[in-house]
Structure 1
Amino acid sequence: MNLYTADDVRAETIPTTRASARAYAWVVFALMFCLLLSDYMSRQALNALFPILKTQWALSDTHLGTISSIVPFTVGLLTLPFSIFADRWGRVKSIALMVALWSVATLGCAIASTYEEMLVARFFVGVGEAAYGSVGIAILVNIFPKHMRSSIAGGFTSAAAFGSVLGVSLSGVIATHFGWRWSMGIMAIFGFALLVVYCCVVSEKRLERAHPNDVESVSYGSAKLPLPELIAAIFPSRSVFCAYLGCALQVFIQGTLFVWLPSYLNRYWNMSVSQAALTAAGLVLVSGLGQLMCGVITDRVCGGSSLKRWNMAATYCLALGVLLTIAFRVPQGSLQLALLGAAVFFLASSFGTCSPIVAGATSPAIHGSAFATLTLFNNILGLAAGPFLTGAAADAFGLKDALHWLPLLAVLPFAVFMLGRRFSLAEANRAD
């Protein structure tokens, strides 16, 4: 006689299904993390080649800053329209197209014979990478529980730092032994390999089945709001605008250090290209670890409190500004490196605090567009503006002086985070 009821059967199968969904979510996270590694390896590998290209093509620091900044500038311009397209056409298919394009464009960098050809190839790297970060995180925040969002956002976006580490360090070493063209070629091959794996593993139907209970299910590709309604949904409150702006102003500092640290160490510490690349990579690695740990700490401290996330964002930014100011005021040596390491631990902390604020205030159906707006702010005001303006300042005053004044800019995101906290508190009181 069968003693099991239908409820007993459901009780046995549901945990298995949930366990399978959790396992698949982590597989997707790992793959999306690796794709963001490839994204930033392709983007940042060129920075280690600045001393070589400066000599070979007789380039100024402004030229070097431009071929670095063209990628985030293009990303900033195109991320919102491409992410809106991805929300409507399908996020999974859109990501596959992006990876293919940035890998082809990176291969174009490897065969460029002039500065102008390199600039065009770098432009198309930016076209390919334009919406990956926003669409990727939009997928991830909808297959993990809400209380994990800072950890997931910090963990996923930390791939930018780790990708920069791998890109800069491997690029410098490969260029030293095999020539700079092989540096870019290997980055392209890595992207093509991940594309094959991605197409075999990720599908929209599997993602829809992986939604946790506390996250609203969304049909990928269904977001078709009219433009005025979409804009209103992306900017639902003044506090969310502050999250976009504050994160971008902190990323200005991050983007500047990522791009110019290898050249700073090469010029003022008399390091070789490979030594400077590896040392800078070590600092960026600390930044990536800090990005991940700040996300985890934020989840533990804040739980579901948006107000506490604002507190953490301001605290991290204050620590960054103070430590970075001290680091650039002490003499060059091991103490300066140690202080730089302590400062960059908080360099990218805003991703783990601002991303959940944006996710919690916007609809899952437009998360790609909302995170694209965050990416737009980060790239135009941060990753593009930082390296370019610092390159121009370096031509006028010297790279050392340009970097020494950089920490003072941390007061800007700190002020915006405090303003966002004030707006968030007022909005919560009105809602009550």
Structure 2
Amino acid sequence: MTDASLTPLTSSGLKSHMPDLPLVIWMVLLTLGLGLSAGMDASEVVTAFNTGFGRALGEFALILLPSFTLAAVLSRQNIASKAAGRTVALASPVAGAGMICPDTAYAALSPAAGRYKMDTAFGAYAGFKLLYPAGPLIVAAGLGATGIEPAMLLLCGALLTLPVWAAGVIWGRFAIKSNAAQTEVDSAADNGRLLRAFAPFLVMAGLLVLGGVVGKTGVGVFDFLLLPKGALITAAILALLQTPPHERRACLDSAVRRTGSLLLVIGAASAFGAVLTDMVQLDRLVPQGDGALTLIALFVLTVLFKLAQGSSMATFAAIAPVAAPMVLASGVNEIAAVFAICLGSFIAILPNDSYYWLVRRDALADEHSEGRAIGILTGGAIVQALVGMTVLLAAVALWP
């Protein structure tokens, strides 16, 4: 899949004037620098870093391990190799959320997408950002928003995904001309494989809805299964049972590797948030009693993280611990805050995002202008974000 002619040359002007360091290194250095520059002594800086680093790692470990196990299982199932193009496009948001990665979802679905490749690309992107158990659950855990009902998070994400995905599809259809050479592989009889692959997510959704209706039962095992983490682990186990025994260890190893690297980023971001909270009285910076202004501030802050980092998952991991004190100080609706952050991460699909190169080489292979390709993907992501924020702000205004 490597294409030397399309090697990303991102942010070259900026990076030529600063060291090329991983995000986690920048976060650690910035955290230590902020603490020392604020007059904290060495032991106070280390104590604040330790406290912040471990604040939410347990929460994320229980979320990311089963999530990435599901992603690894689905990536090996070749779920869309014979499915019809329209079915693949309709399944793309669920695939983006279920695989916890728009790249993996698009790579799995695109061979059968035919002329619906752009629909699939924007659908997988929207699903990963807005559908449970991907963006919303990861952000909610980072914010420490334990009071959110999982069923509400699932429902609100689904309702918000519909207009956001539609906006991306409409943009894609106007931005590029349909390629008549692309054909759909019409084998609807194999759609049963698609349903079987996503059966664990149907079980997970059922457990979450049941948990919202039944509430606590007083039986520890049942109550755990009805929690987001329990439902996720159940779905991961069911997915593993669908996998040939000789492939299960590889799926788990993949989940451990991906979880470990993200936990390091999350810990560094949490430490940064802890030191920043000690330095700055956030309740004076965040608007009080005006949910719209706080949501817009969270949206803009996430946009800055996404533009600097490129990776959507790293953005989720880094932004939530930093934004958590703002959400707490403002008193804004936690569900709205979660989705404001998720929507901010839409901006933008640029060459410093691996998703750009995946879609660029496949759905936009016939586009010879790099600027036009950037305009199509970035423009679509911006339209999706703005439509989503408009819907979110309207919903908050009507149902505060």
Q: Shorter-normalised TM-score: what interval?
A: 0.3 to 0.5
What is the TM-score normalised by the length of structure 1? 0.31
